[in-house]
Structure 1
Amino acid sequence: MAMFVHLTAAANTPRIRRAGIRADSRGQGGVRGVYCFPVLPSYTLTHQWLRELARFGPKGALSAVHVRLADAQEVLVGHYRDRAKDAQQWLTAAEAVARVAAQPDPRGWEVVVPRAIGAREVHRIRAVPQVAGWRYLPGAHGTRPCTCVGCRIRGEYGGRRLRERHPHPLDGPPPPVPVLLARIEAAGDPGDQAALLDALHWFGLRRRGPVDRLARLAAHPDPAVRRELVWAVQGWSTPGVAELLDPLAEDPHPDVREAVADVRELMDEQES
């Protein structure tokens, strides 16, 4: 039997003891399952994902759930940066442990079990110190954090002070809504791609926006514009966002459909 550890919110542990771990995460290629990591001799490496998960995950303390899997259980193994198609590999659980343990630097490696984990497979659940592991990326200690829109976390402790000390050219504040709408109108019909992408980028930094004024871009002939529209409105609390995404979920281009699926998953996580 191969031993793995799954990190989760401490509030989930009663449900996990009773019913196991739900397969509600998504790995490479859209594989749904449970993220975990092999139990290695090094405590720090075994729990390396703890501080990074604390940045993005639920509020409160995290707990470690140790699970035993059959050696022949197939799992998806690879480094989190391996996002190219087929970059990660399907191996048995025993092979996955050996593969990760043999790495000169196993930081950033991950394992996805493509199914739910039953309560009988849970070996033990315990509290863990909340300071183990790396943040941002392996080896980031001593490196200036990036303050771009993609890396920053809204509401993160010390985030505003960090942005004031190290401003990023794409960090904002975004131009006023009338200015952005004027840029979209000036782009023409259907509209210059570069101008529309730039305006949608700034719209994506806002918490609310004119959904009705941007709805026409859902029919833009360029899939890059339609995809950027999806990401621009994903954080808005304005009514009508769900209705805007519905037709884009059936878009003929796979990148647009994938963007809608990712956005809806984020929205579900924020609501839960």
Structure 2
Amino acid sequence: MTMLVHITPAKNVRAIRRGGIRAQSLADASQTGVYCLPVMPSYQLTHQWVRELRRGGQRTLMAVHFRVPDGEEVSVGHYGSPRVHVSSAEAAALVTELEDPRGYEVIIARSIAAKEIHRIRRVNQVTGWRYSPDAHGTRPCPFCDPGGYGASKIRKAFDEE
């Protein structure tokens, strides 16, 4: 059984304990599924999506650990790239063995039943990256977030160089 983790707002925990994780339409709207990552030896890499997901306005996020059969077909890939279809065990091995697994995601094309959930736990709210895995130290896009917190200070720092 492959252990995976799904990051969700704390307000969803009661419903998840009762009925599991519901599959939702994905970003490209072509299918439905559950975003997750394999549990890796590194806490930072396992929960890398927390800061990026908090940008959506959620105050507290929780980690839902669950198990799926090793042979179940999932999609895996970097969030901006095409994904490949492999078994869940192969996806976990692929992501875990990468030199830099930041930005990768596993998608299960079905809902997760409540009986498959192993545990639900709090997660450090400042873990992970924002915008993209290597965004720190790069020039910000003036059109993407012109009025964001600290945006003028960041633009000014790059203009002085």
Q: TM-score surpassing 0.5?
A: yes
Cα separation, 2, equivalents of 1:34 and 1:64: 13
SS in 1 for 2:131: coil
Q: 1:153 to 1:52 in 2, by over 3 A?
A: farther
1:130 partnered with 2:125: yes
**Residue matched to 2:59:** 60
SS in 1 for 2:55: helix
Cα separation, 2, equivalents of 1:102 and 1:127: 26
**Residue matched to 1:40:** 40
Deviation at 1:152, TM superposition (A): 2.3
**Residue matched to 1:71:** 70
More RCO (CA 8 Å, sep 6+): 2
Q: TM-score, normalised by structure 1?
A: 0.54
Cα separation, 1, equivalents of 2:24 and 2:98: 28
Deviation at 1:166, TM superposition (A): 3.1
Is the CA contact 1:27–1:112 (under 8 Å) kept in the aligned structure 2? no
**Residue matched to 1:141:** 136
AA at the equivalent of 1:47: H
Deviation at 1:25, TM superposition (A): 3.4
Q: 1:71 to 1:22 in 2, by over 3 A?
A: same
AA at the equivalent of 1:114: A
Correspondence for 2:98 among 76, 92, 103? 103
Unaligned runs of 5+ in 1: 168-272
Larger radius of gyration: 1
AA at the equivalent of 1:42: S
Q: TM-score, normalised by structure 2?
A: 0.89
Cα separation, 2, equivalents of 1:142 and 1:14: 39
Q: Give aligned pairs, total.
A: 156
Deviation at 1:7, TM superposition (A): 0.2
**Residue matched to 1:152:** 145
**Residue matched to 1:166:** 155
AA at the equivalent of 1:145: P
**Percent identical:** 51
AA at the equivalent of 2:19: A
Higher strand share: 2
Unaligned runs of 5+ in 2: 157-161
**Residue matched to 2:6:** 6
Q: 1:153 to 1:109 in 2, by over 3 A?
A: farther
**RMSD of aligned residue pairs (Cα, Å):** 2.0
Q: What stretches of structure 1 move > 6 A for 4+ residues in a row?
A: none
Cα separation, 2, equivalents of 1:65 and 1:119: 11
SS in 2 for 1:91: strand
AA at the equivalent of 1:26: L
Cα separation, 2, equivalents of 1:123 and 1:113: 16
Any residues of structure 2 matched to 1:95-244 within 5 Å, and which? 95-148=90-143, 151-152=144-145, 156=148, 158=149, 161-163=150-152, 166=155
Deviation at 1:81, TM superposition (A): 1.7
Q: 1:98 to 1:10 in 2, by over 3 A?
A: same
Higher helix share: 1
